[in-house]
Amino acid sequence: MTLSIVAAVAALCAILADPAISVTSHPLLLVVSFDGFHPDYVRPDVTPHLARFRLASASPPYMRNVFPTKTFVNHFTVATGLYPETHGVLDNYMFDRHNRSMHYTYEQFHYNENVVPIWTQNENSGGGRHSGVMMWPGSEFPYQGKTSTHVAVYNYSTPWSSRVDTVISWIKDDKKPANLVFAYFEEPDNTGHVFGVGSHEIKNQIVRVDTTVKYIVERIKEENLENKINLILLSDHGMDTVTYDRIIYLDNYISNKTCKVEVTGPNAFINPNPGKYDEVYSNLKNASKTHGTFDVFKKEQLLDRWHMKNTDRLNGLLYVLAKPGYAFWDEYFKDLLKHTTKEKFKAGTHGYDNEEPPMRAFFMASGPLFKRNFTAQPFDNVDIYPLISHVMDLKQLASNAVRPNGTVAAVEQLLAERPGSRAGGPCAKGSLSVVACVASAAMTLRTASRYL
Ligand SMILES: *[C@@H]1O[C@H](CO)[C@@H](O)[C@H](O)[C@H]1NC(C)=O
Ligand SMILES: *[C@@H]1O[C@H](CO)[C@@H](O)[C@H](O)[C@H]1NC(C)=O
Ligand SMILES: *[C@@H]1O[C@H](CO)[C@@H](O)[C@H](O)[C@H]1NC(C)=O
Ligand SMILES: *[C@@H]1O[C@H](CO)[C@@H](O)[C@H](O)[C@H]1NC(C)=O
Ligand SMILES: *[C@@H]1O[C@H](CO)[C@@H](O)[C@H](O)[C@H]1NC(C)=O
Ligand SMILES: *[C@@H]1O[C@H](CO)[C@@H](O)[C@H](O)[C@H]1NC(C)=O
Ligand SMILES: [Zn+2]
């Protein structure tokens, strides 16, 4: 066999492995989050496109998330691979350093300046890598002074199809094509909060998610990116429903004369005034024992498995967590009640223990890097950062950067053996196994429709 045949076949392999030469030369990954999408929402009759997508994907029955099962907490865990106590985002609403209410601020996402989200690490890895982040919680703040090349700030009014079109334009950008993109969609969470799980309103949003997945896949095919792009669909948490008779009024046990409260749904931080810590704790403890509808924790009593307590942000605070199906009265519930009656009140809520099945997150991965129609073992969302870092071949973190808590061990099960993979497939650089290379290239063609 002459060298020129080897070279020709190698070139063919390169073309087949990388047909869309107008985009990044790096592996290409789009991560899409649908807020509050529980894995059980995928049903052939309601979400036919997601059901078919699963057949082309590697997916576990559910993904384990972190406590508290809240939006900012889990999205930042996905972005950093860190537990909440290390990245510092402990809830959507929390106390700032002056003990004032804090919601979506630079400070909230900068507990530790050495924490580097993966969209930043992608760009730090050089070689013309560019990140795009569409409305992902925490994405428009700079980290170590850097924001992603392409960023869109959260805007509820931006139509979902425009968000998808913008993401595609980032991937196809002439000068700075994105190789790693994150996109966020606020449903079915938003509607689920108002109407509860099982409502026809939330079902409509689940269908809207399905239609959007169809649109994303269509756009990928139109742009001829099918054999290039990898697509991960995921969520941050599920949802449960609270009726009015299961609302807990903390005001019955503690007062704003002795403490400040920062509450959202089933979770609350309580900051006792100077000298009032023991009194506030014993009042809450008594109420918790009497009613059994919530638990109260001193910082050091928070469960180890939550990986939430070892942070200065909880110094001097107490924490209360409602039992499943219960929640603390807050401003949001007050607004909801204005539009309904106590009898009909049914609010969706989340934030409970991450071991509660209704709080579970979903995950599906499709594209050349991933196995198809593969039911994986459940893994943790802290493992997504190492997964992305591994498949995108990112640079080692700087020595002062905070190393992720997740590992690639539990997510390697998702990965396809692929031609030209770094594991050394038959088309790997320097390989002379031409027959195997051509055979696997033909296989790539036969399985061309990656997303069904
Ligand atoms: C949000 O999007 C809407 C619809 O595209 C647009 O009219 C509005 O100006 C945007 N708001 C901001 C703050 O960008
Ligand atoms: C404290 O609570 C009382 C009764 O709930 C309320 O009227 C008052 O405005 C609150 N004070 C502050 C400072 O929030
Ligand atoms: C404990 O709670 C019960 C019921 O809320 C109340 O009647 C009782 O006075 C409380 N005891 C103390 C010591 O606060
Ligand atoms: C905030 O609250 C904590 C806990 O009660 C307290 O130790 C700290 O001094 C307070 N900080 C300010 C700035 O008030
Ligand atoms: C997916 O896998 C299941 C079980 O492993 C199998 O029965 C089914 O035929 C597969 N479907 C497709 C479309 O590959
Ligand atoms: C998580 O990672 C951080 C930073 O690498 C480390 O300090 C912390 O101990 C880890 N947490 C656990 C539970 O391993
Ligand atoms: Zn959420």
Per annotation, catalytic residue among 47, 71, 264, 311: 71
For ligand 5, the distance from its centroid to the CA atom of residue 235, given in whole angstroms, is 24
158 Cβ below 6 A of ligand 1: yes
Nearest alpha-carbon partner for 235 in 401, 350, 112, 364: 364
Rounded to an integer, what distance in angstroms lies between the CA atom of residue 402 and that of residue 87? 9
User: What is the three-class DSSP state of 213?
Assistant: helix
* Ligand positioned closest to the Cα atom of 84: 6
DSSP bridge pairs for 143: 146
Q: Which of 55, 370, 451 to mutate to test the pocket of ligand 5 (most atoms within 8 A of CB)?
A: 55
Nearest alpha-carbon partner for 451 in 287, 245, 231: 231
DSSP bridge pairs for 321: 267, 295
Q: Which of 256, 262, 271 to mutate to test the pocket of ligand 2 (most atoms within 8 A of CB)?
A: 256
pLDDT value at residue 172: 97
Tens digits of per-residue pLDDT, 211-223? 999 999 999 999 9
Q: In what order do the strands lie in the sheet with 150-152?
A: 150-152, 131-134, 180-185, 28-34, 229-234, 363-366, 57-59, 374-375
Q: Which of 98, 99, 315 to mutate to test the pocket of ligand 4 (most atoms within 8 A of CB)?
A: 99
Is 71 in the active site?
A: yes
pLDDT value at residue 321: 98
403 Cβ below 6 A of ligand 6: yes
Rounded to an integer, what distance in angstroms lies between the CA atom of residue 247 and that of residue 181? 40
Are the CB atoms for 307 and 64 separated by under 8 Å?
no
Nearest alpha-carbon partner for 312 in 84, 126, 100, 101: 84
What does pTM read for this prediction? 0.90
Residues in the chain predicted with pLDDT less than 50, given as ranges, are 1-3, 5-7, 9-20, 420-448
For ligand 3, the distance from its centroid to the CA atom of residue 317, given in whole angstroms, is 22
Rounded to an integer, what distance in angstroms lies between the CA atom of residue 353 and that of residue 359? 8
Nearest alpha-carbon partner for 247 in 327, 322, 366: 327
What 300-308 contacts at long range (C-beta under 8 Å, 24+ apart), as own/partner pairs, is: 303/67, 306/66, 306/67, 306/84, 306/354, 307/66, 307/67, 307/83, 307/84, 307/85, 307/86, 307/405, 308/66, 308/67, 308/68, 308/83, 308/84, 308/85, 308/90
pLDDT value at residue 4: 54
Nearest alpha-carbon partner for 190 in 327, 353, 348: 348
DSSP bridge pairs for 248: 328
Are the CB atoms for 31 and 183 separated by under 8 Å?
yes
Ligand 4 pocket, Cβ-based, cut-off 6 angstroms: 98-99, 271, 315-316
pLDDT value at residue 389: 98
155 Cβ below 6 A of ligand 1: yes
Query: Taking the CB of residue 366, how many other CB atoms lie within 10 A of it?
Result: 26
Mean pLDDT taken over the chain: 91
Rounded to an integer, what distance in angstroms lies between the CA atom of residue 451 and that of residue 217? 7
Listed in order, strand segments (DSSP E) in 324-435 are 327-328, 346-349, 363-366, 374-375
* Ligand positioned closest to the Cα atom of 99: 4
Measure the CA dihedral 152/155/157/158, to 10°.
10
For residue 354, is it left (φ>0), alpha (ψ between -120 and 50) or beta? alpha
pLDDT value at residue 419: 53
402 Cβ below 6 A of ligand 6: yes
83 Cβ below 6 A of ligand 6: yes
Tokens representing 363 are 């995950």
pLDDT value at residue 22: 77
Cα distance from N-terminal residue to C-terminal residue, the chain: 38
In order of 82, 126, 130, the CA distances from 402 in angstroms are: 9, 19, 21
Are the CB atoms for 347 and 333 separated by under 8 Å?
yes
* Ligand positioned closest to the Cα atom of 259: 4
For ligand 7, the distance from its centroid to the CA atom of residue 356, given in whole angstroms, is 16
For ligand 4, the distance from its centroid to the CA atom of residue 142, given in whole angstroms, is 27
Strands 318-322 and 327-328: unpaired
Tokens representing 269 are 């931080």
pLDDT value at residue 412: 98
Hunting for tokens 């009265």 — which residue is that? 329
For ligand 5, the distance from its centroid to the CA atom of residue 227, given in whole angstroms, is 21
For ligand 2, the distance from its centroid to the CA atom of residue 245, given in whole angstroms, is 24
Are the CB atoms for 226 and 270 separated by under 8 Å?
no
Eight-state DSSP code of residue 281: H
Rounded to an integer, what distance in angstroms lies between the CA atom of residue 189 and that of residue 41? 12
Q: Which residues of 346-355 are buried (b: 16+ CB within 10 A; e: fewer)?
A: bbbbbbbbbe
Are the CB atoms for 261 and 254 separated by under 8 Å?
yes
